[in-house]
Structure 1
Amino acid sequence: MATSIKDVAREAGVSIATVSRVLNDIDVVNEDTKKKVLDAIKELGYRPNIVARSLKTQRTKTIGILLPDISNQFYPEIVRGAEDVSNIYDYNIILCNSDLDIEKEKEYLRVLKEKMVDGVIYMSSSLRDEILELINELDLKTVLVETRDKDGVLPSVTIDNIKGSYDSTNLLIKKGIKDIAFIGTKKDNMNAWGDRYVGYEKAMNEAGIKIDSELVYLDSIKVKSGYEGIQHFLGLNKKFKGVVCASDDIAMGAINALRDNNMEIPKDVSVVGFNDNFAASIFYPKITTVSQPTYDMGSVAMRMLIKLLNKKELDEPNYVLEHELIERESTI
């Protein structure tokens, strides 16, 4: 027979109401009594009825994490950081992969609301107005990771993506490279990936280097975009000595395409990635890239969300964590 709350109360020598207060983290219980109850719970292996508890408290101790592409090495480390913090505070996670599809994002947000999640950590390829409107309509407590809403209303954890891409472009410029291509996504995307084109554009403009629109390939952040981007440039007979990529996956695709066209990296073309995925450090050649503190992004976002759920004031509503430019073998 399953252990009941009555069994816990009897073992701890307290009332059922006291056990309930401890389970619901109500502060009126003194520390000694709380310890007795927690010890009894552990000793008896008691697991509270989550459904009954959520109906009473209107909280499920569950958090949804929505990400755009689970196959991208960048996101699992963010999830790991968030999950480690959620475990500390006894929250469960529902993981949703939108496959870069805005309709799937909408559907997952509705499903998470139906599942009565307490809040959402949101990473996305878009963050369009219709998504923000849906978050507000569903009244979902939300923390953004990797991106910010245009009005800065929702709490967020990011790096300065414009500065990161600016730094990587400047690295090539300082090495004397002027013919620099860019492979990524459109700058009007309301997310980190769009900001990376803005950083490239800013560095080129400040250096007085005219951007050749035929050396800009805007598609996705996947490996195939890197490969197809290089093939596109070569098909136009364009000359370039450097490529700034909006992700490490793009950089790997670009390097493979350059190799397939008998070009050496970095002798013929220098390539810079973004994110510092694990593969970037073992790929050949090892990729120069902008490193993001992915684990910290997830853990900070989860702590922020849990604070919101417990009606505590945030120390900082929009965290901007530090990035680092790591030079490896793909640049001269």
Structure 2
Amino acid sequence: MAVTVTIYDVAREAGVSMATVSRVVNNNPNVKPQTRKKVFEAIERLGYRPNAVARGLASKKTTTVGVVIPDISNPIFSEVARGIEDIANMYHYNIILCNADKKKEKEIRVINTLLEKQVDGLLFMGGVVTEDHIQAFKTSSVPVVLCATADEKHIIPSVDIDHEKAAYDSVNVLIQNGHRNIAMISGTLQDPANGFARYQGYRRALEEAGIPLNEDYVRVGNYRYESGLEVTKYFLSLDERPTAIFAANDEMAIGAIHTLQDSGLKVPDDMSVISVDNIRMASMVRPELTTVAQPMYDIGAVAMRLLTKLMNKETKDASELSQVVLPHEVIHRNSVAQR
């Protein structure tokens, strides 16, 4: 069995006190460069690894942040996670990333598990925020920031885009190109911050353009490629087909494009397609997908920076930073044509 090397062993090897080793390990500037070098050499020779648990008990900080992600296989969340990790590294925090599979019971369980592990802060990413979530966050003794989502009453600090406006801008691209029969593949309408907000943006764009809402043109998907395939098959079965489809995310939009192409139709000549997100696949599919870009990396990075400010009490008035809304941008490609 390997022998555990202790701080006492390092101190004896370097010929210094345990307090000096502790100062070196914790990056205390009040150590002479020659002494610091001697301690690091001893650490390397012995293979010493500081005990993070013990250090956390002493300082009441673990320099660890818990991140709850709804679907780790979804490329949009991986981009958010990259932004989180880069800023976490910059401020010397470690990340515990937990996949919750978009299941509320698992999300609540994961939140409580992370809090039990004494994380210094918590980021909850891109899921529906219910009253049960709010209650779990309220009982937390550490700061919580919502990332790529928000709670309906704006109780918890959050970083996101304006989803209603993103959908509105997306549908307006179709309207400006002469489309009036515009269908929507929606996300879950039980999510007020994302799914329902994008549906509201779709409705507002039609209403302002004087286009009546056709209930046959709205179907709910689950943000996955397969639901884009299936819903588009339904649209093609209608007596009066839409001339354009607005999908609530890129993955469903790509499914829509493939169903249209498999049916012998051309995109955008026979039917235009537009969506929201701007994942990497949006520029890889043919035709390239016109979409509204969310700054996913920036959402993760800003959320992590906001959390560091709250954890370190860098701001006296946290309410000033509580609801951060980042800008989105329409990326014009080749999937929308003039009608």
Q: TM-score, normalised by structure 1?
A: 0.90
> Structure 1 269/116 Cα, relative in aligned 2: closer, same or farther at 3 Å?
same
CA contact (8 A) 2:11 2:39 kept: no
Q: How many residues align?
A: 328
The Cα shift of 1:9 comes to 6.0
Aligned to 2:286: 284
> Structure 1 42/23 Cα, relative in aligned 2: closer, same or farther at 3 Å?
closer
Residue 168 of structure 1 pairs with residue 175 of structure 2: no
- The alignment yields a C-alpha RMSD, in angstroms, of 2.4
The answer to which of 125-134 and 165-174 deviates more is 125-134
AA in 1 matched with 2:229? Y
Aligned to 2:332: 327
> Structure 1 125/236 Cα, relative in aligned 2: closer, same or farther at 3 Å?
farther
Mapped to 1, the partners of 2:10 and 2:92 lie a distance apart of: 19
Aligned to 1:110: 112
The Cα shift of 1:54 comes to 1.7
The Cα shift of 1:24 comes to 5.7
Mapped to 1, the partners of 2:51 and 2:276 lie a distance apart of: 45
> Structure 1 263/54 Cα, relative in aligned 2: closer, same or farther at 3 Å?
same
Q: TM-score, normalised by structure 2?
A: 0.88
Residue 144 of structure 1 pairs with residue 114 of structure 2: no
Q: Deviations over 1:250-289 (max 9, x none)?
A: 1011111111222110001110021111110011111001
Residue 49 of structure 1 pairs with residue 51 of structure 2: yes
CA contact (8 A) 1:156 1:301 kept: yes
Aligned to 2:63: 61
Aligned to 1:33: 31
> Structure 1 95/331 Cα, relative in aligned 2: closer, same or farther at 3 Å?
same
CA contact (8 A) 2:287 2:334 kept: yes
Aligned to 2:267: 265
The Cα shift of 1:92 comes to 1.6
Residue 190 of structure 1 pairs with residue 195 of structure 2: no
Q: Which runs of 5+ in 1 are unaligned?
A: none
Q: Structure 2 residue aligned with 1:303, among 282, 293, 305?
A: 305
**1:311 is paired with a residue of what secondary structure?**
coil
Aligned to 1:231: 233
Q: Structure 2 residue aligned with 1:156, among 135, 155, 158?
A: 158
Output aligned runs, 1:308-319, within 5 Å. 308-313=310-315, 316-319=321-324
AA in 1 matched with 2:106? K
Q: Deviations over 1:152-178 (max 9, x none)?
A: 222211111111111110000000101
Aligned to 1:200: 202
CA contact (8 A) 1:8 1:40 kept: no
Q: Equivalent pairs: percent with the same residue?
A: 41
Aligned to 2:93: 91
Q: Structure 2 residue aligned with 1:242, among 230, 240, 244?
A: 244
CA contact (8 A) 1:186 1:197 kept: no
Mapped to 2, the partners of 1:13 and 1:300 lie a distance apart of: 44
